[in-house]
């Protein structure tokens, strides 16, 4: 291609390759340090799978003494959504994924290998595109979207592989004169890669998660620079990951089939490709079938779902680590005190390379453990922070009764394995503790009788009255429990479980049924944390009042 054509295609002054390379010197990092990134497109919601991928990359990079950075891939400007970049930045920060470089909270670059927003790197991509043109490895293509579409249909009809390759790569064969004519006519163009590959040749692609894969060489003349002057993902990936010194690219496995192309591009530009690790997308069970967790159909695919429902951040981190690597669970058992971020992460330990199943049962159970290990003060602060955004009237209540709420949350807490495990997400707390507040506790006697089905009303009233007569706020737990037995015995309940089991027909029930009556009257539920502790926190007046039926 003549220099005249090249200048016509790229008339604007572009930085020289030497200038660019000088701005991105090789990083001086210790042996074995890995440079990894998360590179989402700011196209709307933040997918929980992006966090899952980012967590792996962040852990591997930092545990190796390397660098983790954030790059925003916004070259598809049609798909860009305002606020999406902030959501990505906030999400990483919220889950404790520290970026060393990239786009910071104020939109400013952190680090010396930027800009980290692709739309700000237009001239850099163009400089390399121009180089490929000069090296005879690229050419302008004037085919319209309709031309390409029509050709694809013809190929499909003839049972051929669809795409812009070989003899179907029409513009690859244009003469200089034809190119000049098209340019003079003002025809829009894109820049295509002149692939040196042959489809019949096979190459071995090494993937750190999927192993060695035999794949056909790429022979597609893919678009490098689009009509708007911005690069496609392929060119931007090669240029950025080279300049930014990425050593390991971990990304979604939808890119796996493009690796032969990417290797060609790196080679054409004279660079060594990074190592690749392709992760399968998160899946969910839908009517017994596994399918991809989809941003469009599944609310839980979006990270904000977990904010709205108030899942503790650390529970999400622990759950995602568990999904990445099933051995996390054993590690957690043997290292209960350690931070989840200390879990040693490694590509070759990744489980479910074919796709991990997002499972709420497991997340909830991890979340219960996480909340159980928190102090009352930590739970209070987390619930308050959540409520301020998602339930302001509850936030007001938390603030107005802070000492009382902390005492409520402190029930059965801080006692190791026996700590209460009923709380798992902040949105539930209002309902979980509602019975501590008279304004929120308004069960009817009918509701309570329904919970105590099988026991007659007169008996329940008698038990309540007898209990009121003996209840003293200052009693120790032992004395209190003896009094429950005594009230039970007065009303025909066995005070001793063994005696009850030996001859159930001799009693109306056991001491457990007496406790159940009191629990239902005091809390409106059949299950609650320790009843004695609840009464101590509620105070004598409230307890007595509830027993006045």
Nearer to ligand GLU, 232 or 448 (CB): 232
At a CB cut-off of 8 Å and minimum separation 6, what does 311 contact? Answer: 363, 367, 424, 425, 426
276 or 311, CB closer to ligand GLU?
276
Least distance to ligand GLU from the beta carbon of 121, Å?
14
Nearest distance, CB of residue 249 and ligand GLU, angstroms? 6
Pairing of strands 509-510, 283-286: unpaired
CA atoms within 13 A on the CB side of 189: 25
By beta-carbon proximity to ligand GLU, the closer residue of 43 and 434 is 43
Q: Residue 529 is encoded by which pair of tokens?
A: 């944390």
Based on CB atoms, which residue is closest to ligand GLU, 260 or 488? 260
Residue in the structure block whose two tokens are 């007169």: 458
Q: Least distance (Å) from ligand GLU to the CB of residue 252?
A: 5
- Which residues lie across from 399 on neighbouring strands? none
The number of beta carbons lying within 10 Å of the beta carbon of residue 474 is: 8
Q: How far is the CB of 283 from ligand GLU (least distance, A)?
A: 17
Looking at beta carbons only, is 48 or 521 nearer to ligand GLU? Answer: 48
Q: Both tokens of residue 247?
A: 């050593």
Minimum CB separation of residue 40 from ligand GLU in Å reads: 5
Whether the bond into 137 is cis, omega within 30 of 0: no
Three-class SS state of 300: helix
Reference 459, options 540, 513, 496; nearest CA is: 513
- List contacts with ligand GLU (CB under 6 A): 39-41, 73, 237, 249, 251-252
Residue 442, CA distances (Å) to 162, 179, 240, 282, 364 in order: 68, 81, 62, 43, 29
Q: Look at residues 220, 224, 227 and name the one whose alpha carbon lies nearest to residue 235.
A: 224
Closest approach of ligand GLU to the CB of residue 49, in Å: 10
39 vs 92, which CB is nearer to ligand GLU? 39
55 versus 179: smaller Cβ distance to ligand GLU: 55
* Closest residue to ligand GLU: CB criterion: 251
Phi, psi of 192 (to 5 degrees): -110, 150
Cα separation, 332 vs 44, whole angstroms = 34
CB of 127 to ligand GLU, least distance (A): 21
């Amino acid at each position: 291609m003549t220099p005249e054509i090249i200048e016509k295609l790229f008339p604007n002054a572009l930085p020289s390759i030497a200038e660019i390379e000088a701005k991105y010197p090789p990083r001086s990092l210790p042996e074995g340090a890995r440079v990894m990134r998360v590179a989402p497109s700011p196209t709307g919601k933040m997918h929980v799978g992006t966090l899952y991928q980012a967590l792996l990359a962040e852990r591997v990079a930092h545990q190796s003494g390397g660098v983790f950075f954030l790059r925003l891939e916004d070259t598809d400007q049609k798909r860009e959504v305002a606020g999406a970049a902030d959501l990505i930045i906030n999400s990483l920060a919220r889950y404790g994924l520290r970026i060393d470089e990239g786009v910071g909270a104020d939109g400013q670059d952190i680090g010396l290998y930027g800009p980290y927003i692709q739309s700000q790197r237009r001239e850099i991509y163009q400089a390399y595109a121009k180089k490929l043109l000069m090296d005879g490895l690229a050419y302008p293509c004037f085919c319209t979207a309709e031309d390409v579409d029509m050709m694809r249909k013809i190929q499909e009809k003839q049972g051929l592989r669809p795409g812009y390759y070989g003899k179907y790569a029409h513009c690859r064969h244009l003469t200089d004169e034809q190119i000049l004519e098209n340019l003079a006519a003002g025809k829009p163009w894109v820049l295509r890669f002149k692939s040196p590959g042959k489809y019949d040749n096979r190459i071995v692609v090494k993937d750190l998660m999927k192993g060695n894969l035999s794949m056909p060489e790429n022979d597609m003349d893919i678009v490098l620079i689009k009509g708007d002057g911005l690069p496609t993902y392929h060119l931007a990936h090669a240029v950025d990951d080279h300049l930014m010194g990425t050593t390991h690219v971990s990304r979604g496995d939808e890119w796996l089939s493009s690796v032969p192309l990417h290797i060609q591009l790196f080679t054409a530009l004279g660079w060594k490709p990074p190592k690749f690790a392709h992760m399968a997308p998160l899946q969910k069970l839908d009517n017994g079938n596994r399918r991809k967790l989809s941003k469009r159909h599944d609310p839980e695919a979006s990270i904000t779902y977990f904010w709205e429902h108030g899942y503790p951040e650390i529970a999400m981190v622990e759950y995602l680590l568990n999904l990445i690597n099933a051995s996390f669970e054993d590690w957690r058992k043997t290292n209960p005190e350690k931070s989840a971020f200390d879990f040693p992460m490694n590509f070759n330990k990744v489980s479910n390379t074919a796709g991990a199943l997002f499972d709420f049962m497991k997340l909830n159970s991890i979340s219960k453990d996480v909340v159980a290990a928190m102090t009352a003060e930590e739970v209070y602060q987390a619930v308050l922070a959540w409520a301020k955004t998602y339930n302001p009237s509850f936030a007001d209540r938390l603030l107005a009764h802070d000492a009382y709420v902390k005492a409520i949350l402190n029930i059965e807490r801080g006692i190791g394995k026996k700590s209460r495990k009923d709380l798992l997400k902040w949105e539930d707390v209002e309902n979980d503790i509602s019975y501590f507040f008279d304004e929120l506790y308004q069960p009817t006697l009918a509701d309570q009788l329904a919970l105590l089905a099988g026991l007659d009303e007169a008996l329940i009233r008698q038990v309540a009255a007898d209990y009121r007569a003996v209840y003293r706020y200052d009693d120790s737990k032992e004395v209190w429990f003896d009094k429950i037995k005594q009230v039970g015995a007065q009303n025909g309940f066995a005070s001793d479980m063994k005696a009850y089991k030996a001859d159930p027909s001799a009693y109306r029930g056991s001491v457990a049924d007496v406790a159940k009556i009191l629990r239902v009257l005091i809390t409106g539920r059949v299950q609650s944390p320790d009843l004695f502790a609840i009464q101590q926190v509620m105070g004598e007046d409230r307890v007595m009042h509830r027993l006045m039926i």
